[in-house]
Structures are given as C-alpha cells and as structure tokens.
Structure 1
Amino acid sequence: METAIAFIIIFGSIVFFHELGHFIFAKKAGIMVREFAIGMGPKIFAMTKGETLYTLRLLPIGGYVRMAGEEMDSVELQPGFRLGIRVNDANEIDQIVLNQNKQFPDMLFLEVEKSDLMKEMFIEGYDEEERLVRYKVARNAKINENGKETFIAPYDRQFGSKTVGQRSMAIFAGPLFNFILAFFIFLLLGLFQGVPTYEPVITTVVADSPAAQAGMKDGDLVTAINGNSISTWDEFSEEVKVSPNENMNFTIDRNGETLELSMTPNEVVVGKETVGQIGVQYISPLEKSPLKAIPYGAEQTYETTKRIFTLLGTLITGNFSIDDLSGPVGIYKATEEVAQYGVFNLMYWAALLSINLGIMNLLPLPALDGGRLLFFLFEAIRGKPIDKQKEGMVHFVGIMLLMVLMVVVTWNDIQRFFF
C-alpha cells in the first residue's frame, strides 16, 4: 500500500508538472485549453473551471493538455441546419443548441443560411417567421450538443493561429517543467538532507586492507598525500587510483591530532584498467546550508541530465537493448525498492524520473514533444507549415509504434518481476 501511494504521488507530480508547463505557456499565448488531464482512459474525476475541463483518468500512463485547434474540434453549421440559439443583452448569441431537446427561456430557432464561428463570428439564417436575420456570436459562446457543453474557440484562441515561437514554447514548456521540478527536488534535498561537502573523510576501513594494516580508522580526514594537500575525495581517490604498488604517505587529521600513515595500494583490475586501492569506503559528509542548496540543485540536475544522455548514447550505439528498458510496471517495482531506504531516496528517484521524462519527450520522434518541435523547425525554415494531414499521419504512426513499444516493455517487466 505504501508503495502504491508513493508511486501515485511521484508519478502524479511528474505528469502534473509536465502538463502544467504546457498549460501555462498555452494560456500565456492566448490559446484556449479545453482539457487538462492526468492519466489516460476513462474519467474517474472531472471538474470544469472557466473554459477548461480538469480530469483525473484511470490509467497511470501519462496525461495531456488538449488545446483548441489541435484536433478537429471546430463546428461547421451547414446551410439548412436547424438549431436553437439564446441571445444576450448585447444581442449576441451566447448559446447554440444543436439538439433541440434542450430548451432555454427565450430560446430562438434558426434555419442556417451561412455562418462563421471562427473568424467573423456570425450566424445568418431564417427565423420562425421566415425572415432572414443575422446575429453576431459572442466570443465566449457555448455550443450544447447532446447535453455536452463546449466553448466556441475563435481563430485567435486556437493553437494554429499562434506564431511558430509561441507554439514551440507551449510544447517545449512541458519537458522544461520536468527539469524545473527536478531542480526543486534537489534543492529540497540540499535544504533538508544536506549538501555533500566531498571532504576526504574515511567512512569505512575494510578489514585486512592496506589502510587497515597501516592503522587508518573510520572518520579519519585525509589532508595530504606524499606532502601534496588534499581537499576533496576526488583528489584523494585519483592519487590512490594511479599509484598501484607504490608506497604512499598519508597525512591524517584524527580528532584534531595530526598523524602520518604509510601504505601501498593493492593492484586491482577494474574493467580494462589497472588501478590502486587501499580498501576504504566513502559516503560524503553532508552540510545543511541554504546558500549551497541552490547551486547543488542546479549541479545535480545538470549531472543527472548528462548521465541520462550518456545512457541514451549506449542505446543508439547498440550497447543497450530493449530488455533494459522499463515501463510503468518496472518503475513501480523500482519505486518499491527505493521506498525501503526512506523519503530522501524517494525524492532523488522522483527527480531522476522527472529528468528522464523531460529528456524522453524531447527526442525528435513522432507523437512526442520533440517530434512536434521538429515540425515547427521545418515550418520556420520553409516559411509555411507542413500539411496538417501529413503531419497528423506521421504522429498517428508514431503513437501506434509507441503503444507497441509500451506493450513490449510492459510484458518484459511482467515476465522479469512475476515469472
């Protein structure tokens, strides 16, 4: 149960921030957002506020922000179509009823002659007395069809009406907010857990190792090696690593007392490299410093991003197989394991997943944010957009391939963890 709660909180937060990025920058550009959804599939919760429907959906495999004009959501009223309208005090239509089972006080009926609900915003038709009348349509008018109400989206509120830069930012903001979320998680870790100092303080001395035989103890602070000052663990580790079978002199600070220890690192083969080891283990001391927490958050976000790109490189070069990928089931099992080590490890895991989602979405693949940004780049170069039907077909194929990949990865996870 605890794992399920942790998974829902982590997954929900990551998806929420991703979609929040799309939502904020879409609204900033003046685009109407029809729906803000967390999850996929059937709705388990829905609430309308303003012109946006906010939904929580059953399947925890993503989310979406549905913007006006991205889909075929515009209504075309064909000549001869009979509809009901309601007119406000400004003599503008504020309600259009396509199924006349719905009745409003003072509702009028029209047989449409011609109309434009996107640019000129009008309906012209014959009233019940066969007179040709013309009404302006309010920008916030609603259409009621089979009991479902939706706002009309004037052309300047639609996604396609905006500049390439505005559309690109609305799409790019999703992955961007994943990186921002990761930064804030690392910032909180720095504030509450502490920022690593990277001081060369020995955490554990392995029994019967060169360090143990020389008299080194847990908690010793290494200040110099062979007379050269040492201030970080990386400096200490590098000195030992390049000195197998060479006698080394260590200057140690032990509770304020300075000691000199001499030892010879063992020669150990790690991969294809021969290195020196003295038999010590290290966990960096932590310091709670608000001033250091901010650069720590930025540094960890950058380093984690770099590591994930390195892993992507192995996937591209063929050193990484599909069996190494994980879907929702694999992430759930990993969350279960991480949860055993406390809330700080869960926070780190959440930051890692958030950056991973941001990077994956920026890949220039159809149906992903990166694929859409690639089309915007082509549009900027060509000076005109790609044909919407062709672009839609590319994204449709991309979605199908992603769904197949998701099924394969999920099946691999099920076999790995349950069989």
Structure 2
Amino acid sequence: METLLSVIIIFGLLVFIHEWGHLYFAKRAGILCREFAIGFGPKIFSWKRNETVYTIRLLPLGGFVRMAGEDPEMIDIKPGYEIGLVFNAARKVSKIIVNNKSKHPEALVVQVEKIDLEHQLVIEAYNDEGERIQYKVDEQAQLVQDEQETQIAPWNRQFGSKTVGQRALAIFAGPLMNFVLAVVILIAFALFQGMPVDEAKIGDVTPDSPAAVAGLQEGDQVISIEGQPIDTWEEMTSVIQQHPNQAIVFEVFRNSQQQAISVTPAERVGQFGDPEGFVGIARPTEFSLMGSIVFGFTQTYAFMTMIFEVLGMIVTGQFSLDYVAGPVGIYNYTGEAAAMGIFVLMQWAAALSVNLGIINLLPIPAMDGGRLIFIGIEAVRGKPMDPQKEGLVHFIGFAFLMLLMIVVTWNDINKFFM
C-alpha cells in the first residue's frame, strides 16, 4: 500500500506539472484548451472551469492537454442542415443546437445555407418565412449535440494560428516544468536534510551495515583507504565501489586521534549493471539557504548528465535494455525508495522528473521533441508540414513507443517476478 500510494503521488505530481506547463503557456498564447487530463482511457470524473474540462482518467500512464485545432473538429454542419439558434443579450448566437431541437423550445430553428465558425463567425440561413438572414456568432458559442456542449474554436483560438515561437513554447513548457520541479524538490531536500558536501567525512551510518559493524562512526574524517590518500567524498566512494567483498583499511581521525579500521564492503548492482561495493554511509551535510539553491540546480544538471550518458550508451550498444526500467520496474524502485525514507524518495522523484523531461524532448514522433522538430522544420521552410503526413508520422512513432513499452514491461516482469 505504501508503494502504491508513493507511486500515485509521485507520478500524479510529475504528470500534473508537465501538463500544467503545456496548459499555462498555451492559454497565455490565447489557445483554446478543451481538456486537461491526467491519465488515459475512460473518464473517472471531470469538472469544468472556464473553457477547460479537467479530467481524471482510468489508466495512469501519462496525461494530455487537448488544444483546439490539433484534432479535426468532431461536429460538422453542412448547408441544408436544420439547426436551432439561441441568442445572447448582444443578439449573437450563443448556442447552436445540432440535434434534439425539441428539447430547446427557446431556440430559433433555421435551415443552414452557409456557416463559418472559424473566420467570419456567421451563419446564413433561411427562416420559416423563407428569408435568408445572416446571424453573427459569439466567439464562445457552444455547439450542442446529444445535449453535450462543445465550444467553437475560431481560427485565432486554434493552435495552428499562433506564431512558431508561441507554439514551440507551449510544447517545450511541459518538459521545462519537469526540470523546474526537480530543482524545487532538490532545494527542499537540501533545506530539510542538509546539503551534501564533497568532503571525505562520514555522515549517517546505516545500522547493521558493513560500516556500522566495522565501527565507523558519524563525523569520522577519512584520511586514506588502503594507503591511498582521500580528500573528497567522490574519491572515497570510488575506492569503496572498487572493492566489493574485499576487506579494506580506513585511516580516520576521530577525537583528534588517528585510527585504522578494517571494513568489508558488501556487494550490490551498480548504475550500469556491474557489481560494486558499498558500506552503508551517507554523505556529510551542511545547512545553507544559498547552498541549497545552488545544490538544486547543480544536482538537476548532474541527473541530466547521467541520463544523457546512459542514453548515449544505449544508442552505441554499450548499455543493455535489460537495465532500462518500464512502469513495473519504476513501481518496484519507487517502493524501495519509499522504504528508505522520505528524503530518498524526494531524490528519486527529482531524478524521475528530470528523466521525464529529457525523454519527452527526444526527437521521437508523438513526443514533445518530435513535435518541436516539425515546428522547427516549419520555421525553416516558411510553411507548415501537411497535417495528414505529420499525423501519420506521429501515429507510427506512437505505435513504436507502445511496442517498446510492451518489451520493457515484459523485461520488468521477468526481472522482478520470474
């Protein structure tokens, strides 16, 4: 239950902040955002605020912001149709009743001769007397079909009407917010837990760990390991990692006295799948507001660098997909992080947020990065790509991603349950 709750909170937060980035900058550009969704599939519940419907959907595998103009409008009214018109105080059409007109006795029923709900915002129709009359349509008029209301999207409210820069920012804002979230989480981590410093000094010692059993204590200043001088935390952990299941001698200062302590690091699987040693000690910390802010940015950059290194190794074949985690693997690792405490979970959430931002920016069709590539091509060509061709590319990319997700998930199942 703890793992499930942690996953729901973390993934809900990561997806929410990502999609909120899209929503905020799209609305700033004047784009009509029809829906803000967390999850995919059937709706669990929804509510509407201003022009946007906010929904929680059944499958917690991401989210989306549905912007006007990105998909073909579902309701198509052609000449010859009979529709009902409801007017506002300014005598503009505020509702267009597509069917079930008998349920709207207040509506004026007319036969459409010409309709333009994108540019001119007019309806030309014949009334009961056979007169052809032009009616002005309000920019926020609602199309009512099967008693469901859908706001019209004039051209100036559609995604495609905005400048290349505005559209690019609306797309880039999602991953950007994931990077911002990571920075905020890591600043909070440093403020409450302390900012890790690069000193060859023992921080917290995990009970019953190799370090605790050997007698290492918090505050011990490490001078050398196996006769090798040690000045930084990175140097110390590097030596420890190189000696799994091998006794090594720590020379430490404690209470102004130098001591030699033999420690045998335990073995675990390292970042790239190789065995490495660990002794169960935490990095020393200090508390500083400015230092915490700097730590938030530098650690986020460190996560980004590490993820790009792994991606590079995957591309060059130096890193097996067996070590890439899908939903099942991430669920399992999140449970392990939650069991280690809130501060480990915070660092894990920050790393996931950075990972989500980077993966979304990769130039893969159907991802934010793929969409930015098409916007960039438009900027160079001076005209947009054919929407049907672009849609086909995104569809193929999405199908590839789903196939990759199935493969990675199967690997996760084999790894953790078989």
TM range (shorter): 0.7 to 0.9
- Against the structure 1 CA distance between its residues 407 and 280, is the aligned structure 2 distance closer, same or farther, given a 3 Å change threshold? closer
- Against the structure 1 CA distance between its residues 357 and 123, is the aligned structure 2 distance closer, same or farther, given a 3 Å change threshold? same
- 1:144 maps to a residue whose letter is V
Aligned to 1:350: 349
Q: Does 1:158 align with 2:186?
A: no
Q: Deviations over 1:158-182 (max 9, x none)?
A: 0000011100000000011111111
Give the CA deviation at 1:280.
8.2
* Aligned 1:175-324 pairs, distance under 5 A: 175-202=175-202, 219-222=219-222, 232-234=232-234, 253-255=253-255, 257=256, 259=257, 283-324=282-323
Aligned to 2:376: 377
Give the CA deviation at 1:69.
0.3
Work out whether residues 32 and 153 of structure 1, in 8 Å CA contact, stay in contact via their aligned partners in 2.
yes
Aligned to 1:111: 111
Give the CA deviation at 1:240.
11
Unpaired stretches in structure 1, ≥5 consecutive residues: 242-248, 264-270, 272-278
- Against the structure 1 CA distance between its residues 372 and 101, is the aligned structure 2 distance closer, same or farther, given a 3 Å change threshold? same
User: Quick one: distance in 2 between partners of 1:284 and 1:326?
Assistant: 26
- Against the structure 1 CA distance between its residues 280 and 64, is the aligned structure 2 distance closer, same or farther, given a 3 Å change threshold? closer
- Against the structure 1 CA distance between its residues 280 and 202, is the aligned structure 2 distance closer, same or farther, given a 3 Å change threshold? farther
Q: Does 1:86 align with 2:61?
A: no
Work out whether residues 19 and 63 of structure 1, in 8 Å CA contact, stay in contact via their aligned partners in 2.
yes
* Aligned 1:330-349 pairs, distance under 5 A: 330-349=329-348
- Against the structure 1 CA distance between its residues 284 and 134, is the aligned structure 2 distance closer, same or farther, given a 3 Å change threshold? same
User: Quick one: distance in 2 between partners of 1:280 and 1:403?
Assistant: 40
Aligned to 1:406: 405
- Against the structure 1 CA distance between its residues 145 and 417, is the aligned structure 2 distance closer, same or farther, given a 3 Å change threshold? same
- 1:376 maps to a residue whose letter is I
Work out whether residues 40 and 59 of structure 2, in 8 Å CA contact, stay in contact via their aligned partners in 1.
yes
- Against the structure 1 CA distance between its residues 345 and 133, is the aligned structure 2 distance closer, same or farther, given a 3 Å change threshold? same
**Partner secondary structure for residue 100 of structure 2:** coil
Give the CA deviation at 1:129.
1.7
Q: Deviations over 1:7-43 (max 9, x none)?
A: 1001100000110110001001000000000001111
- 1:118 maps to a residue whose letter is E
Give the CA deviation at 1:76.
3.7
Q: Higher Cα Rg: structure 1 or 2?
A: 1
User: Quick one: distance in 2 between partners of 1:107 and 1:296?
Assistant: 62
Give the CA deviation at 1:412.
2.2
User: Quick one: distance in 1 between partners of 2:193 and 2:240?
Assistant: 29
User: Quick one: distance in 1 between partners of 2:163 and 2:210?
Assistant: 69
| TM-score, length of structure 2 as denominator length | 0.85
Aligned to 2:59: 59
Aligned to 1:9: 9
| TM-score, length of structure 1 as denominator length | 0.85
- 2:117 maps to a residue whose letter is L
- 1:399 maps to a residue whose letter is F
User: Quick one: distance in 2 between partners of 1:25 and 1:383?
Assistant: 23
Give the CA deviation at 1:103.
2.8
- Against the structure 1 CA distance between its residues 233 and 331, is the aligned structure 2 distance closer, same or farther, given a 3 Å change threshold? closer
Aligned to 1:120: 120
**Partner secondary structure for residue 103 of structure 2:** coil
Work out whether residues 74 and 153 of structure 1, in 8 Å CA contact, stay in contact via their aligned partners in 2.
no
Higher mean displacement: 322-331 or 37-46: 322-331
Give the CA deviation at 1:52.
0.5
